[in-house]
Amino acid sequence: MSITETNSLYDHLENMSIKEILTNINNEDAKVHLAVQNEIEKVEKLVELLINRVNTGGRLFYIGAGTSGRLGILDASEIPPTYGMPHGVVVGLIAGGDKAIRKAVEAAEDNIHGGWNELEKYHINKKDTVVGIAASGGTPYVIGALKDANCNGLLTACITCNPNSDIAKVVDIAIEPIVGPEFVTGSTRMKAGTAQKMVLNMITTSLMIKLGRVKGNKMIDMQLTNKKLIERGSKMIMDETHMEYEEARRLLLLHGSVRSVLDNYNQ
Protein backbone atom coordinates (compact mmCIF):
# COMPACT_ATOMS: atom_id res chain seq x y z
CA MET A 1 0.00 0.00 0.00
CA SER A 2 1.25 3.50 -0.82
CA ILE A 3 2.13 5.84 2.03
CA THR A 4 -0.61 8.29 1.03
CA GLU A 5 -3.17 5.50 1.56
CA THR A 6 -1.88 4.21 4.90
CA ASN A 7 -3.85 4.72 8.11
CA SER A 8 -3.74 8.09 9.81
CA LEU A 9 -1.53 8.41 12.87
CA TYR A 10 -4.68 9.55 14.68
CA ASP A 11 -7.90 7.66 15.41
CA HIS A 12 -11.37 8.35 16.79
CA LEU A 13 -11.31 11.77 15.12
CA GLU A 14 -15.01 12.20 15.79
CA ASN A 15 -14.33 12.14 19.54
CA MET A 16 -11.78 14.97 19.40
CA SER A 17 -12.67 18.52 20.34
CA ILE A 18 -12.50 21.10 17.57
CA LYS A 19 -9.26 22.45 19.06
CA GLU A 20 -7.74 18.97 19.13
CA ILE A 21 -8.67 18.43 15.49
CA LEU A 22 -7.18 21.75 14.44
CA THR A 23 -4.03 21.29 16.52
CA ASN A 24 -3.40 17.82 15.12
CA ILE A 25 -3.97 18.97 11.53
CA ASN A 26 -1.50 21.77 12.15
CA ASN A 27 1.02 19.32 13.64
CA GLU A 28 0.81 17.25 10.47
CA ASP A 29 1.04 20.30 8.20
CA ALA A 30 4.29 21.26 9.95
CA LYS A 31 5.90 18.20 8.36
CA VAL A 32 5.19 19.35 4.81
CA HIS A 33 7.86 22.02 4.35
CA LEU A 34 10.56 19.60 5.50
CA ALA A 35 9.46 17.04 2.92
CA VAL A 36 9.57 19.72 0.21
CA GLN A 37 12.97 20.93 1.42
CA ASN A 38 14.38 17.47 0.74
CA GLU A 39 13.45 17.86 -2.95
CA ILE A 40 14.96 21.28 -3.67
CA GLU A 41 17.85 19.88 -5.74
CA LYS A 42 15.41 18.07 -8.03
CA VAL A 43 13.26 21.19 -8.42
CA GLU A 44 16.44 23.15 -9.19
CA LYS A 45 17.38 20.68 -11.92
CA LEU A 46 13.96 20.99 -13.52
CA VAL A 47 13.94 24.79 -13.44
CA GLU A 48 17.44 24.99 -14.92
CA LEU A 49 16.25 22.95 -17.90
CA LEU A 50 13.00 24.90 -18.19
CA ILE A 51 14.69 28.29 -18.47
CA ASN A 52 16.34 27.53 -21.81
CA ARG A 53 13.36 25.58 -23.11
CA VAL A 54 10.85 28.37 -22.41
CA ASN A 55 13.29 30.99 -23.73
CA THR A 56 13.38 29.14 -27.05
CA GLY A 57 9.62 28.77 -27.41
CA GLY A 58 8.90 25.75 -25.24
CA ARG A 59 5.88 25.47 -22.98
CA LEU A 60 5.29 23.94 -19.56
CA PHE A 61 2.34 21.57 -19.24
CA TYR A 62 0.96 20.36 -15.92
CA ILE A 63 -1.26 17.31 -16.08
CA GLY A 64 -3.17 15.63 -13.26
CA ALA A 65 -6.48 14.30 -11.97
CA GLY A 66 -8.68 15.50 -9.10
CA THR A 67 -6.92 17.74 -6.58
CA SER A 68 -3.59 17.32 -8.39
CA GLY A 69 -5.08 18.48 -11.67
CA ARG A 70 -6.80 21.44 -10.03
CA LEU A 71 -3.56 22.55 -8.41
CA GLY A 72 -1.78 22.52 -11.78
CA ILE A 73 -4.54 24.59 -13.35
CA LEU A 74 -4.44 27.04 -10.43
CA ASP A 75 -0.70 27.57 -10.79
CA ALA A 76 -0.86 27.93 -14.58
CA SER A 77 -3.77 30.38 -14.46
CA GLU A 78 -1.87 32.76 -12.18
CA ILE A 79 1.15 33.19 -14.47
CA PRO A 80 -0.31 35.66 -17.05
CA PRO A 81 -1.77 38.15 -14.52
CA THR A 82 1.14 37.89 -12.10
CA TYR A 83 4.04 37.98 -14.52
CA GLY A 84 2.55 39.23 -17.79
CA MET A 85 3.41 36.02 -19.62
CA PRO A 86 1.20 35.15 -22.60
CA HIS A 87 -1.55 32.63 -22.02
CA GLY A 88 -0.40 29.22 -23.18
CA VAL A 89 3.19 29.31 -21.93
CA VAL A 90 2.19 27.45 -18.76
CA VAL A 91 -0.83 25.18 -19.25
CA GLY A 92 -2.75 23.06 -16.74
CA LEU A 93 -4.77 20.03 -17.84
CA ILE A 94 -7.10 17.88 -15.73
CA ALA A 95 -8.60 14.46 -16.36
CA GLY A 96 -12.19 14.98 -17.46
CA GLY A 97 -11.60 18.44 -18.93
CA ASP A 98 -12.64 21.83 -17.60
CA LYS A 99 -15.87 20.53 -16.10
CA ALA A 100 -13.76 18.40 -13.73
CA ILE A 101 -12.35 21.55 -12.12
CA ARG A 102 -15.55 21.88 -10.10
CA LYS A 103 -17.08 18.40 -10.20
CA ALA A 104 -15.52 14.95 -10.31
CA VAL A 105 -15.79 13.16 -13.67
CA GLU A 106 -16.22 9.43 -13.13
CA ALA A 107 -13.34 7.19 -14.30
CA ALA A 108 -11.59 10.04 -16.17
CA GLU A 109 -8.33 9.41 -14.33
CA ASP A 110 -8.33 5.76 -15.43
CA ASN A 111 -8.12 6.65 -19.14
CA ILE A 112 -4.50 5.86 -19.95
CA HIS A 113 -4.64 7.56 -23.36
CA GLY A 114 -6.72 10.56 -22.24
CA GLY A 115 -3.81 12.71 -21.12
CA TRP A 116 -1.81 12.46 -24.32
CA ASN A 117 -4.94 13.01 -26.40
CA GLU A 118 -5.43 16.32 -24.57
CA LEU A 119 -1.78 17.31 -25.01
CA GLU A 120 -1.92 16.66 -28.74
CA LYS A 121 -4.62 19.31 -29.08
CA TYR A 122 -1.90 21.83 -28.23
CA HIS A 123 0.37 20.55 -31.04
CA ILE A 124 2.87 19.54 -28.39
CA ASN A 125 6.49 19.22 -29.53
CA LYS A 126 10.03 18.46 -28.35
CA LYS A 127 10.57 21.96 -26.98
CA ASP A 128 7.77 21.42 -24.46
CA THR A 129 7.92 19.95 -20.95
CA VAL A 130 5.27 17.82 -19.26
CA VAL A 131 5.02 17.64 -15.45
CA GLY A 132 2.68 14.98 -14.14
CA ILE A 133 1.10 15.64 -10.75
CA ALA A 134 -0.18 12.61 -8.84
CA ALA A 135 -0.14 12.27 -5.05
CA SER A 136 -0.40 8.48 -5.24
CA GLY A 137 1.99 8.16 -8.15
CA GLY A 138 -0.24 5.66 -9.90
CA THR A 139 -2.82 7.67 -11.89
CA PRO A 140 -3.18 6.03 -15.35
CA TYR A 141 -4.25 9.28 -17.07
CA VAL A 142 -1.03 10.96 -15.95
CA ILE A 143 1.35 8.02 -16.39
CA GLY A 144 0.05 7.34 -19.90
CA ALA A 145 0.61 10.96 -20.91
CA LEU A 146 4.16 10.91 -19.54
CA LYS A 147 5.03 7.68 -21.32
CA ASP A 148 3.80 9.10 -24.63
CA ALA A 149 5.67 12.34 -23.95
CA ASN A 150 8.87 10.36 -23.45
CA CYS A 151 8.31 8.48 -26.69
CA ASN A 152 7.99 11.81 -28.49
CA GLY A 153 11.21 13.24 -27.07
CA LEU A 154 9.80 15.68 -24.49
CA LEU A 155 11.31 16.49 -21.10
CA THR A 156 9.18 14.91 -18.36
CA ALA A 157 8.94 15.31 -14.60
CA CYS A 158 6.50 14.43 -11.84
CA ILE A 159 5.39 15.59 -8.42
CA THR A 160 4.29 12.70 -6.24
CA CYS A 161 4.11 11.94 -2.52
CA ASN A 162 4.97 8.24 -2.60
CA PRO A 163 8.46 6.75 -2.95
CA ASN A 164 9.22 4.22 -5.68
CA SER A 165 5.96 5.00 -7.45
CA ASP A 166 5.01 3.99 -10.98
CA ILE A 167 5.02 7.61 -12.12
CA ALA A 168 8.60 8.19 -10.91
CA LYS A 169 9.81 5.33 -13.08
CA VAL A 170 8.70 6.96 -16.33
CA VAL A 171 10.03 10.53 -15.96
CA ASP A 172 13.36 12.29 -16.33
CA ILE A 173 13.01 14.11 -13.00
CA ALA A 174 10.96 12.76 -10.09
CA ILE A 175 10.12 15.26 -7.35
CA GLU A 176 8.92 13.26 -4.34
CA PRO A 177 8.01 15.16 -1.15
CA ILE A 178 7.08 12.30 1.18
CA VAL A 179 4.68 13.79 3.71
CA GLY A 180 3.42 10.55 5.28
CA PRO A 181 -0.14 9.47 6.10
CA GLU A 182 -2.91 12.06 5.98
CA PHE A 183 -4.77 13.20 9.10
CA VAL A 184 -7.92 11.76 7.52
CA THR A 185 -6.77 8.51 5.95
CA GLY A 186 -6.26 8.86 2.20
CA SER A 187 -7.38 12.51 2.02
CA THR A 188 -4.55 13.67 -0.21
CA ARG A 189 -6.07 17.12 -0.67
CA MET A 190 -4.46 17.81 2.71
CA LYS A 191 -0.69 17.33 3.24
CA ALA A 192 -0.02 15.88 -0.20
CA GLY A 193 -1.94 18.70 -1.86
CA THR A 194 -0.10 21.30 0.22
CA ALA A 195 3.26 19.80 -0.74
CA GLN A 196 2.33 19.78 -4.42
CA LYS A 197 1.22 23.41 -4.26
CA MET A 198 4.49 24.40 -2.60
CA VAL A 199 6.53 22.69 -5.31
CA LEU A 200 4.45 24.29 -8.07
CA ASN A 201 5.01 27.71 -6.46
CA MET A 202 8.74 27.05 -6.43
CA ILE A 203 8.89 25.94 -10.06
CA THR A 204 7.05 28.83 -11.65
CA THR A 205 8.25 31.57 -9.30
CA SER A 206 11.92 30.72 -9.79
CA LEU A 207 11.34 30.27 -13.52
CA MET A 208 9.67 33.67 -13.89
CA ILE A 209 12.41 35.38 -11.90
CA LYS A 210 15.10 33.85 -14.10
CA LEU A 211 13.15 34.80 -17.23
CA GLY A 212 13.41 38.44 -16.12
CA ARG A 213 9.82 38.91 -15.00
CA VAL A 214 10.84 40.31 -11.60
CA LYS A 215 12.96 43.39 -10.84
CA GLY A 216 14.39 43.50 -7.34
CA ASN A 217 11.48 41.81 -5.62
CA LYS A 218 8.67 43.39 -7.67
CA MET A 219 6.31 41.92 -10.30
CA ILE A 220 6.96 44.60 -12.89
CA ASP A 221 5.02 42.84 -15.66
CA MET A 222 1.82 42.15 -13.70
CA GLN A 223 -1.46 42.92 -15.45
CA LEU A 224 -3.38 45.93 -14.13
CA THR A 225 -6.67 44.10 -13.73
CA ASN A 226 -8.03 45.84 -10.63
CA LYS A 227 -7.64 48.84 -8.33
CA LYS A 228 -5.38 47.00 -5.90
CA LEU A 229 -2.88 46.16 -8.63
CA ILE A 230 -2.92 49.70 -10.00
CA GLU A 231 -2.12 50.95 -6.49
CA ARG A 232 0.65 48.37 -6.13
CA GLY A 233 2.11 49.30 -9.51
CA SER A 234 2.03 53.00 -8.69
CA LYS A 235 3.92 52.35 -5.46
CA MET A 236 6.54 50.31 -7.34
CA ILE A 237 7.13 53.25 -9.66
CA MET A 238 7.32 55.68 -6.73
CA ASP A 239 9.89 53.45 -4.99
CA GLU A 240 12.05 53.25 -8.11
CA THR A 241 11.83 56.86 -9.28
CA HIS A 242 10.81 58.88 -6.17
CA MET A 243 8.10 60.64 -8.19
CA GLU A 244 4.79 61.69 -6.63
CA TYR A 245 1.87 59.26 -6.48
CA GLU A 246 -0.39 61.05 -8.98
CA GLU A 247 2.35 61.20 -11.60
CA ALA A 248 3.31 57.55 -11.01
CA ARG A 249 -0.31 56.46 -11.39
CA ARG A 250 -0.81 58.59 -14.51
CA LEU A 251 2.24 57.12 -16.21
CA LEU A 252 1.27 53.59 -15.20
CA LEU A 253 -2.16 53.90 -16.79
CA LEU A 254 -0.62 55.58 -19.84
CA HIS A 255 2.02 52.93 -20.49
CA GLY A 256 0.14 49.90 -19.17
CA SER A 257 2.86 48.27 -17.05
CA VAL A 258 5.47 49.08 -14.45
CA ARG A 259 8.20 47.83 -16.78
CA SER A 260 7.16 50.21 -19.57
CA VAL A 261 7.13 53.19 -17.22
CA LEU A 262 10.58 52.36 -15.84
CA ASP A 263 12.02 51.72 -19.31
CA ASN A 264 10.78 55.11 -20.51
CA TYR A 265 11.94 56.85 -17.34
CA ASN A 266 15.46 55.43 -17.63
CA GLN A 267 15.94 56.38 -21.29
The residues annotated as belonging to the active site are 78, 109
**Burial bucket for residue 215 (CB in 10 Å: 0-12, 13-18, 19+):** middle
**Burial bucket for residue 66 (CB in 10 Å: 0-12, 13-18, 19+):** buried
User: Which of 75, 45, 81, 52 is closest to 63 using CA atoms?
Assistant: 75
Q: How far apart are the C-alpha atoms of 249 and 187, rounded to whole Å? A: 46
DSSP notation for 45-79: HHHHHHHHHHHTT--EEEEESHHHHHHHHHHHHHH
Q: How far apart are the C-alpha atoms of 197 and 205, rounded to whole Å? A: 12
Q: How far apart are the C-alpha atoms of 254 and 259, rounded to whole Å? A: 12
Q: How far apart are the C-alpha atoms of 54 and 65, rounded to whole Å? A: 25
Fill in the DSSP letter of residue 135: S
